[in-house]
A = this chain, B = another copy of it.
Amino acid sequence: MNRRVSELGERGLIRRLREKFPSLHSIGDDCAVLPGIRCPVVTTDSFFEGTHFHRWWAPPQILGRRLLEAALSDIAAMGATAKWFFTALSVDPGIGVNWIEGFYQGLTEREDVILAGGETVRGERLGITLTVIGEGEDRDTILRRSSLHPGDNLWITGLLGRALDAPAKLEKAGGLSGKDLKPRSGFLSSAELEQLRAFLQPRAELELGIKLRKAGIRCAIDISDGLFSEASHLSLESSVDTVLEIDETLFFDSVKDNPLAASAAGEDYVLLFGAPVGLEFSSVGCSKIGRAETGNGEMTIFLDGERVSINAKGYDHLGVRK
Contacts and interface: CB of A to CB of B under 8 A. Distances in A.
Interface stretch (A31-39, A57-65, A260-268, A310-318): A31-39
A131 interface: yes
A31 B43 contact: yes
Contacts of A129: 44, 46, 88, 119, 129, 131
Contacts of A41: 31-34
A30 interface: yes
Interface string A90-121: 10000000000000000000000000111101
B34 A42 contact: yes
Contacts of A35: 40
A248 interface: no
A263 to B, nearest CB: 18
Contacts of A52: 121
B33 A145 contact: no
B28 A43 contact: no
Contact of A36 (B38, B44, B134): B38
A146 B29 CA distance: 8
A45 interface: yes
B42 A133 contact: yes
A123 B48 contact: yes
Contact of A124 (B74, B125, B136): B125
A112 to B, nearest CB: 17
A176 interface: no
Given A39-B36, A51-B122, A129-B119, A145 B28 contact: yes
Contact of A74 (B31, B37, B40, B78): B31
A240 interface: no
Contact of A40 (B40, B46, B87, B131): B40
